[in-house]
Amino acid sequence: MIARLGMAAALTLCIAGGTATTADAAAPRPGTRVYFQGCMQFGIPPWCRVVGNYVVNHAHPALPMGTFVRASATVDDFVGLCPGGIYLKDVRWRPVNRACPR
């Protein structure tokens, strides 16, 4: 009986793990133009370049580390190896005379 309850709990967790969260529901749709500001940081894994919850790996030119920027970009439907971030394309940015937190 205990083994059955354990299997039922495991199955329930697997099913619940595949459902959308409210954070997923609030994420902008691919093709949406977003505006953001902040400092680029390396995420985990370290090749992930992020500003807030946006992944800006595809920015050309790349966002500089340690510079506060204001930017706009288009939400991409790309799925990559940077966990939890929203991938952006067509990133346009400009530096702002403001210090990044240390």
For the chain, give every domain's residue range: 29-95
pLDDT digits (tens, 9 = 90+) for 52-68: 999 999 999 999 888 99
- For residue 26, which phi and psi values (nearest 5 degrees)? -85, -10
pLDDT of residue 74 exceeding 50: yes
pLDDT digits (tens, 9 = 90+) for 11-21: 333 333 333 43
For residue 9, the model assigns a pLDDT of 42
Q: Which residues pair with 71 in a beta bridge?
A: 36, 93
Are 33 and 72 in contact, with CB atoms under 8 Å apart?
Answer: yes
Strand arrangement, sheet containing 49-51: 33-39, 68-75, 86-95, 54-55, 49-51, 41-42
Average pLDDT over residues 64-79: 92
Q: Quote the tokens at residue 2.
A: 């205990």
Average pLDDT over residues 79-99: 92
| pTM exceeding the 0.85 threshold for the entire prediction | no
Average pLDDT over residues 37-50: 91
* pLDDT, mean over the chain: 79
